[in-house]
Structure 1
């Protein structure tokens, strides 16, 4: 499957427009709605409160917190949140998980500030524990360095795929060992140096763990302009995608799937902004169907 999604705002001031956009892209047939998780900002919505309401307003599209700020959300409770959302929506949820990066902000919320090494170890423990707490089975006891549960019965609801936003080599290796997908950081794409140097770390770790690297899909946050006429250049001098006409987008994304193994794309506006309604309509109504058709051939 190739996933096509859209990133929506978490701003409190943008709530009416965000609700309208979610309904619009759901009706248009997109696969994913994504929101970020920055609970230390008072002008931002709580990510899981937002995704729950968006899923309640929609019928087909899945939700993804890209990515969950794990240091602020204990893994056992995160597992309960995710399996609950899955049960409530008929499985319309993907679990995104991150190491946590803005540690001064995280500490202001009252959570313990971890060193980079500790954060990565807590990240891997968190993914392992979350995966144990869905799909039924006997009670789970987990005595980790950072996460502990005792005789905790897993939810009967299956745990959805876990995608990460890993950036550093140690967290990339965690993704290869235990995750199901990767969303490259800093809007890196399949032609970027970051991708070329990062994806082999995931693949090597997957092989070392006895996994098939292909089981860890790559889904890209992909910002750019959708223009009415073709652009002379669709990429900047540094190689970053600028955008272009729908036909230029279709050519670029089809090549990404067929030639580079891309498993999905989440649209953002220029600079990572929320796409406006017109861009969302062209994305969902023109670009995505054409890429799906081209890939199917």
Structure 2
């Protein structure tokens, strides 16, 4: 793993900041499992999402992460995909503390990220383009059920190294009742191919090859790829284990790269059968929800 050397200080992100050139518009229809929100409630949620996004900060130096440390020298991490599973979280962060459910305003989940780890584990299918993991991006009016937990400050460098292709953001989650957290948490958001190559790879093709080129991936962030099947199943099961609110939120507020098709719709159409597939024995623990 290459060493990460970033240099820009922590800065507020304007509301217009976006990880994708695709315009973001929250879907007008509510989740199928819930009663329609009143217009006043929707206005309230929209206001809260705008307020939440105005507090988003980009972390561009390891010292920026240190600014988020609590008094006991720990930092909060936001989970939105595989880290919805406490078992998965603990497989990566054995000493994590205070694993809990939270809400994040002003973001949506999108399957638009080519993930090399799926190639390494033999579960990517490049022929069908089922190679994507999750990232999040700003979206006014959207609200995600996520998890939050704390890790030791000594784990920050390894965390950065594992998530090198993402944009690191400091966000302010809230309780399910809508009370903002006191401490900000780190969120891995959508980055861009140009930034990854120029900043993280320092414009070095050899470094890019080490991370992606050896898997014949010449573009990381794509809108024409589909979820890795076992990973999607794992995330859905993890959300289901958190309860109905997290489960329905994942199904109705997680999108394919087209940003139109929800995971609920995908699993009932071309993705049908994914939830019945079992992972290989060696990956059952990691991808078991």
Which structure is higher in RCO with an 8 Å CA cutoff and minimum separation 6?
2
TM-score, normalisation: structure 2: 0.28
TM-score, normalisation: structure 1: 0.27
Q: Which has the higher helix share?
A: 1
